[in-house]
Amino acid sequence: MFNISILTIGDEILIGQTLNTNSSWLSAELSKIGANILTQSTISDNKVQIINEINRLFEISDMIVVTGGLGPTHDDITKITLCEYFDDHLVLNEVILKHLESFYIQRGRTLLESIALQAQLPSKCEIMFNSVGTAQGMLFEKEGKFLISMPGVPSEMKAITKESLLLFVKSKMVELKSKVKVHKTLFTIGVGESILALKIGDQNKFLDNNSSLAYLPSYRGVKLRISVVASSFEKGNKIISKIENVIMQKVGEYVVSNELENIMELISLKLIEKSRTISVAESCTGGLLGGALTELAGSSAYFNGGDQVYSNNDKINRLGIKTETLIDFGAVSKETAIEMSENVRVLHNSYYGLSITGIAGPDGGSIEKPVGTVWIGIATPNSSKAICYNFGKNRTVNRELSVGYALSMILNDLNSM
Amino acid sequence: MFNISILTIGDEILIGQTLNTNSSWLSAELSKIGANILTQSTISDNKVQIINEINRLFEISDMIVVTGGLGPTHDDITKITLCEYFDDHLVLNEVILKHLESFYIQRGRTLLESIALQAQLPSKCEIMFNSVGTAQGMLFEKEGKFLISMPGVPSEMKAITKESLLLFVKSKMVELKSKVKVHKTLFTIGVGESILALKIGDQNKFLDNNSSLAYLPSYRGVKLRISVVASSFEKGNKIISKIENVIMQKVGEYVVSNELENIMELISLKLIEKSRTISVAESCTGGLLGGALTELAGSSAYFNGGDQVYSNNDKINRLGIKTETLIDFGAVSKETAIEMSENVRVLHNSYYGLSITGIAGPDGGSIEKPVGTVWIGIATPNSSKAICYNFGKNRTVNRELSVGYALSMILNDLNSM
C-alpha cells in the first residue's frame, strides 16, 4: 500500500481554537484514490518539533502531507524549517512573483511586502501551484519518499490537492504497483449504532484480515463503511460486493444509499426528479434546516423559502398559527407542529411544508416536556403528520439532530410511493 | 510544564469521514487550566499501532488523553489493547452494571448484551464515571505518568472531562509544581490577517523565548492569541498584560474583546443590555444567519424570527419587496438588500432588520455581479444601509463569510453610540 501520513502544523489547532478540517478533507480525498492514511498528527509551530516529526513520519510512510505554517504572518516557520531539513535555500521565483502581482492588481490592491516574500521558494522543491492564494505547494523528495507542504487555508490547500497532489499520488501508486485500499459506505437513516451492530452480528463470519467494517455515527445518520485491501480497485470492489450483500440482508431496510453519503444530495436528487418544492417553518432551529436545504448549489430548484418563527407572536403573525392552538396545546406540541407545516406549505406554495418546534435547552423544560423534546411536522398536499423526538440535554446536539431527523422524514417520504 | 498528548483512535477519523472535534475541544479545555498540549495524533483501530503510539507518546508526555474505540460495536478494540498494554484483565464492575441497567430502564429499553459488556473493566484502572453514556473513562498509571481513555462520543467525552479529568490534571499540576502556559486572545473583526501582521510589525520587539503571538483567522473574525509560559498564572498574566498593551496600541481599533472569542456572545450581551431585538431576511444563506443568532440559550430575548426568502416570489409575497426594485436593480443589489432589511424589521416589529442577498455560487454569476457578490443590509428605526462584499468562488465559504460579516455589522452598530 501507499502509506501517507498527514501532518498539521499550527498552535491554533493544538490549543483547540481551530478545528482541524484539513486533515479530515485530505484523508477523505486520498482514501478515495486508494492510498492508506496511516496517521494524522498535529504539532506546534516549532522548528525542533517539526524536524523530529518529519523524521519519525518518514520512517513509517511513503509520503508526508503537511499543511499549515505557510501564511504571511510571523508565526509561520514551516518554509524555513523545510529548507533546513532538506539542506536547501530560498530563491526568488520570478513566475510566482508575477502571479502574485497580478493577483493583487486584479483585486485593486497593492502587493504587501510580507506577501511578496511568498515568491521566495526553496530551490530544490517542485512547485505545486496555488491558483487561489499566495502560498505555494512545495514537493520535496528524499530517498524515494515524498513530502508536500501546503498552506493551511482550506480553500488553497484544496485547490493544490485537486489540481496537483492527487494526480501525483495516483501516478506514484501506478509506478510502484501499490496495493489499494478500497472503501464503500452504506448510508443508513432512522436507526442507532447499537441496533445496527446487534442486527449485523458477528462480523468475523464475513470479514477476513484484508477487510473491515466500521460504524460511523453522525447527526444525519449512521454510515457503515466497508474497507478492503486488494491488488487492484477491480478485485477490491468484487470482495466489497460480497460483503455488501451480507450486510444488506441484515440491515437493508435502513440503507438509503450505497453511493451517496450526504443526505442532502439524496434529497436534492429526489426533489428534482419528482419536481417537488419545500418550505420550512423553524422555531428552535432558527434557520438551520433552511441552511441545510440550501447547502447544495442549485437548491433554488426546490427550496421555496420559509419562516423563522421563534416566538409565539411570530408563529401567529407570520405563519397564521391559531392562538387557540398555542394556548390549548403549547408551542411545542403535535398540533402546533402540524399547523406550522401546513401553513408554511400553503403560504409559500410548496409541495412540502416542514416544521420544527422544540425545547433546545439547556433550560426551559418541564416534567411533561423535558429539554430535548422536539416535534417535527411534515405536510404534503394530501396529508400531514408530526413525530415527537426526545434527544437530550445539549442545545447544539438537539438542534443538529432536529435537522437530521427532519431531513430523514423528507427522504423517507420521497422514497415512499 | 505538564505536557499532554491527545490521541484519537478511529478509522472514521483517519479516512476523513468524521471531523475530529474531540481533539480540538480537549485541547482548548486542557489549555485553559495551564497544561501544555504537545501533540495531537490519530491512528487506526489497530492493536499494534495503538501500542506503538502509546509507547512513543509516553516518552515525550506526562499524560496521554485517549478518545475513541470504546463503543459497543465490533470495531472498537481500545479496551482490550489497554488491558494488554498495562498487563491487566477485565473484571465485572457491579456498580457500573447497576448503573447501566437503570440507565436503560429509565429510557424504557432493555439492556443489550453488547452494552452490558461495558461493565467489564480493567482491574487496575481508576474509573472516571460517565454520567451520560455507557462507556466509562479509565485512568491508568505507569511509572508516574498517566493515560486516560474515554469514549469518542463527544457528549460523553465532555462529561467525563468536566466531571473528573480536569480536576485530576489540576491537582497533579499543583502536586508537581508544574509551570503553566497562559493564553489570552484578542478578538478582531473587519480586518484580514495580513493587514494585522503589517500593523503589528516585528514581534521580536515585544516577545521573548517564553512568549508568543499567533494569528487565528476564522469566518467570524481574526483572533490574536498571546501565550506565555510562567511559574504561576499570576506571573503569566502580568507578562501578558504588557504584551497586550503593545498590541492594543497598534491594532486596538479592530479589537472588540479581550475576553470573549465568540462574536455571538458579544452580540447577545449587547442586545440584551440595550433591550434590542433583531430579525433576519435571508436569501443565499437560507437560514444560517438565524441559525447563528439562535446558537446561544436565551436567544428568544432578542431573536424575533425572520424570513427565508430564497426566490423572487418569496421576496415579493412574504417580505413585500417591490417588483420594480427586483426588476430595476436585481435581487442581488443595494436597493433590494436595504428594502429586505427595512421590511423584515417592520414585519417582525424588531429593532434591527438584517438582510443577506448574494450569489453563493459556484454558478450563477455574471461579469457585473460575479459569484461571491453579497449585499448585506442593516436597518434600525432611524436608518438603513447596505454593504457589498466580494468573497470568492466557494459556496460554503461565501455563505459562512456572509454570516460572519453580517454579525460584524450588528456588533459594530451595537458598539457605536
Q: A106 falls in which pLDDT band (50, 70, 90)?
A: low
User: How, if at all, do strands A278-282 and A352-358 pair?
Assistant: parallel
Instruction: Spell out where A293-380 has E strands.
Output: 303-308, 352-358, 373-379
Return all residues near A201 (Cβ < 8 A) that are at least 6 apart: A250
> Which residue from B381, B328, B327, B391 is spatially nearest to B356, judged by alpha carbons?
B391
User: How, if at all, do strands B63-67 and B145-150 pair?
Assistant: parallel
- DSSP of A6-38: EEEE-HHHHTTSS--HHHHHHHHHHHHTT-EEE
Q: What is the pLDDT of residues A335-359, one digit of tens each?
A: 999 999 999 999 999 999 999 999 9
DSSP letter, residue A161: I
Q: Determine whether the interchain pair A310/B304 forms a contact, defined as Cβ–Cβ distance below 8 Å.
A: yes
DSSP letter, residue A111: P
For CA atoms B324, B328, B331, B335, give the dihedral sign. Answer: negative
CA distance B179 to B232: 7
B182-241 residues touching A, CB cutoff 8 A: 183, 185, 193-194, 196-198, 202-203, 212-218, 223, 225, 227
Q: A169 falls in which pLDDT band (50, 70, 90)?
A: very high
B28 touching A, CB under 8 A? yes
* Identity at B162, one-letter amino acid code: K
A344 burial type by CB count under 10 A (0-12 exposed, 13-18 middle, 19+ buried): buried
Q: Which domains, ranges and CATH numbers included, belong to chain B?
A: 3-176 (3.40.980.10), 180-257 (3.30.70.2860), 267-415 (3.90.950.20)
Q: What is the pLDDT of residues A77-90, one digit of tens each?
A: 889 999 999 999 99
8 Å CB contact between B303 and B290: yes
Q: Residue B16's Cα: distance from chain center in Å?
A: 19
Q: What does the block give as the cell for B399?
A: 455563505
Quickly tell me which residue has 431576511 as its cell: B281
Q: What does the block give as the cell for A233?
A: 480497485
**CB count in 10 Å sphere of residue B296:** 17
**pLDDT reading at A273 higher than 80:** yes
Return all residues near B368 (Cβ < 8 A) that are at least 6 apart: none
> Which residue from B12, B260, B6 is spatially nearest to A227, judged by alpha carbons?
B12
Least confident of A28-37, B51-60, B109-118, B214-223: B109-118
- Alpha helices (runs of H) in B177-294, residue ranges in sequence order: 193-200, 233-251, 263-273, 288-293
Q: Determine whether the interchain pair B318/A348 forms a contact, defined as Cβ–Cβ distance below 8 Å.
A: yes
Mean pLDDT across the stretch A386-410?
89
Return all residues near B118 (Cβ < 8 A) that are at least 6 apart: B70, B72, B96, B100, B134, B135, B136
Mean pLDDT across the stretch A348-374?
92
Report how far apart, in Å, the C-alpha atoms of B179 and of each of A16, A397, B172, B240, B250 are. Answer: 20, 36, 12, 15, 30
Return all residues near B217 (Cβ < 8 A) that are at least 6 apart: A153, B192, B193, B223
A25 touching B, CB under 8 A? yes
Q: A111 falls in which pLDDT band (50, 70, 90)?
A: low
Q: What is the pLDDT of residues A132-153, one digit of tens each?
A: 888 899 999 999 999 999 998 8
Q: B74 falls in which pLDDT band (50, 70, 90)?
A: low
Quickly tell me which residue has 497532489 as its cell: A165
Say yes or no: ipTM exceeds 0.85.
Answer: no
What pLDDT was estimated at residue A108? 63
| Neighboring chain A residues of B203 at a CB cutoff of 8 Å | 74
| Neighboring chain B residues of A317 at a CB cutoff of 8 Å | 348
Q: Residue A332's Cα: distance from chain center in Å?
A: 31
A34-63 residues touching B, CB cutoff 8 A: 37-45, 49, 53, 56
CA distance A132 to A135: 9
Highest averaged pLDDT of the listed ranges B8-17, B183-192, B316-325, B384-393: B316-325
